[in-house]
Amino acid sequence: MSHIDDLIKAHCPGGVRFLSLADVGVTVPGLSGKTKADFSDGNARFVSYKNAFANLAVDQTASDFVKVAPGEKQNVLRRGDVIFTGSSETADEVGMSSVVVSEPLEPLYLNSFCFALRFSDPDLMLPGFAKYLFRSDGVRAAIQRSAAGVTRINISKQRFMKIRVPVPPLEVQREVMKVLDAFTELEAELEAELEAELEARRLQYAHYRDRLLTFPDTGGVPRIPMGEFAQLVRGNGMPKTDFAESGVGAIHYGQIYTYYGTYAHETLSFVGHEKAAKLAKVDPGDVVITNTSENIEDVGKAVAWLGDNQVVTGGHATVIKHSQNAKFLAYYFQTSEFAIAKRKHVTGTKVMDVSAKSLAKIEIPLPPLDEQDRIVRILDRFNALVNSLTEGLPVELRARREQYNYYRDKLLTFEEAAA
């Protein structure tokens, strides 16, 4: 910081000049006149919304292509262009920026859901400095204020171009960029190390879980079709629009992929009592299993309901009512053995489904209840170890990111020069 402070004192002792975006450049729209078919077997590379949203610097090697005819009039991106996502479902995510930090080696186009800010003077702001500036908290807050909407938040170009940003001398920009590049590299290395450690623990846990829940045919453990020891009740209805602030607890099938673990004592969502009366009932000890997903891995994911009260579930899920150890069943549904068995019954391509009738045919090994209880106790301990790591590593990573954000914003906060 002291070196940067010295540079500021030397090059702009009266403060850093702030300029409106309208003073420094113009907006450039993305692709126009394209249909869905144009994005199939394309011949020209373009920057997708996801690319712009996820990267400080545009990934120019991403495999996103669009058909562009010879001589077709479309805007191409240049070094220094700052791309912004023009809309989002939430104000927190609107106007995320990504910078073209090097001159494209081939024509590079922009998707129609984004726009670019192009500097009138390409030497006014270093691309490597811009990629941090437009992601800083202060500038992000100004960008968010330029957007409005209800179900979809959209940036107003008129308000956007009024945003004022600091434009320090290039010597200062270069030093800030150098420091933040080093910070970013260290953060990426830490994240990779923590993710690798977490993945190793998960694989170790999955190995021991599968060993505990794999019973040889000569072991005396019967394999019984699910329909013979349980009642399977297919749910129906309950789109997310049915959710309420309070009422009857509700387990939505999509939340089984994304929110719930092996078991749950509380629901994430609720529906009104009138809606709940029409939905499939989930009693304490029941297991809810998914029937539908866009990928085969998520078909047949399950959560054991261990709460005190009856809750409900909706479409694309089946309630398994049984007299076994609910956790034992939920753990078994995570095994490689069950994954192989369910594949024989899954139908569909883009949307995959396994019917309750088909689930009822899958054979499940059922040792005596006391053995189920013993296995569950062991897996609970393993699960706790993995979860403690799962909770601990992200906490450490979040602390490092907060530290990084603090120094980034401190480096990008300048005293404005007097008018």
Annotate 184-222 with DSSP letters as a single string. HHHHHHHHHHHHHHHHHHHHHHHHHHHHHT---TTTT--
Domain termination residue (choose one: 123, 145, 167): 167
Closest to 314 in 3D by CA, of 266, 264, 265, 269: 269
341 and 227, same structural domain? yes
Domain termination residue (choose one: 120, 149, 167): 167
89 and 121, same structural domain? yes
What are the φ/ψ torsions at residue 11 (nearest 5 degrees)?
-100, -25
Task: Tell me if 210 is assigned to some domain.
Answer: no
Q: Look up residue 298 and give its amino acid.
A: D
270 and 298, same structural domain? yes
347 and 415, same structural domain? no
251 and 325, same structural domain? yes
Task: Tell me if 215 is assigned to some domain.
Answer: no
Report the half-sphere exposure of 270 (CA within 13 A, side-chain side): 9
Cα-trace Rg, the chain: 27
Closest to 206 in 3D by CA, of 331, 390, 344: 331
At 2 the pLDDT is: 66
Site of tokens 């883009």: 350
At 398 the pLDDT is: 76
240 and 287, same structural domain? yes
The full DSSP string for 143-193 is: HHHTEE-SSSEEE-HHHHTT-EEE---HHHHHHHHHHHHHHHHHHHHHHHH
162 and 32, same structural domain? yes
Element (H or E) spanning 131, and its range? Answer: helix 127-133
177 and 131, same structural domain? no
Element (H or E) spanning 328, and its range? Answer: helix 326-332
Structural domain total, the chain: 3
Task: Tell me if 242 is assigned to some domain.
Answer: yes
Find residue 223's DSSP bridge partners: 365
Q: How far apart are CA 375 and CA 332, in angstroms?
A: 11
Task: Tell me if 381 is assigned to some domain.
Answer: yes
102 and 53, same structural domain? yes
* Tens digit of pLDDT at every position of the chain (419 positions): 567 777 777 777 788 999 999 999 999 999 999 999 999 889 999 999 999 999 999 999 999 999 999 999 999 999 999 999 999 988 888 999 999 999 999 999 999 999 999 999 999 999 999 999 999 999 999 999 999 998 889 999 999 999 999 999 999 999 999 999 998 888 888 878 877 887 888 888 889 999 999 888 767 899 999 999 999 999 999 989 999 999 999 999 999 999 999 999 999 999 999 999 999 999 999 999 999 998 889 999 999 999 999 999 999 999 999 999 999 999 999 999 999 999 999 998 888 999 999 999 999 999 999 999 999 999 998 888 776 665 666 677 778 778 888 888 888 888 888 76
Task: Tell me if 190 is assigned to some domain.
Answer: yes
CATH number of domain containing 163: 3.90.220.20
135 and 65, same structural domain? yes
Two tokens, residue 318 = 């089946």
Domain termination residue (choose one: 366, 383, 401): 366
226 and 362, same structural domain? yes
Two tokens, residue 176 = 């800030």
Residue range(s) defining the domain that contains residue 293: 222-366
Task: Tell me if 151 is assigned to some domain.
Answer: yes
114 and 73, same structural domain? yes
At 411 the pLDDT is: 86
Task: Tell me if 289 is assigned to some domain.
Answer: yes
Task: Tell me if 82 is assigned to some domain.
Answer: yes
pTM reported for the whole predicted model: 0.64
SS3 at position 234: strand
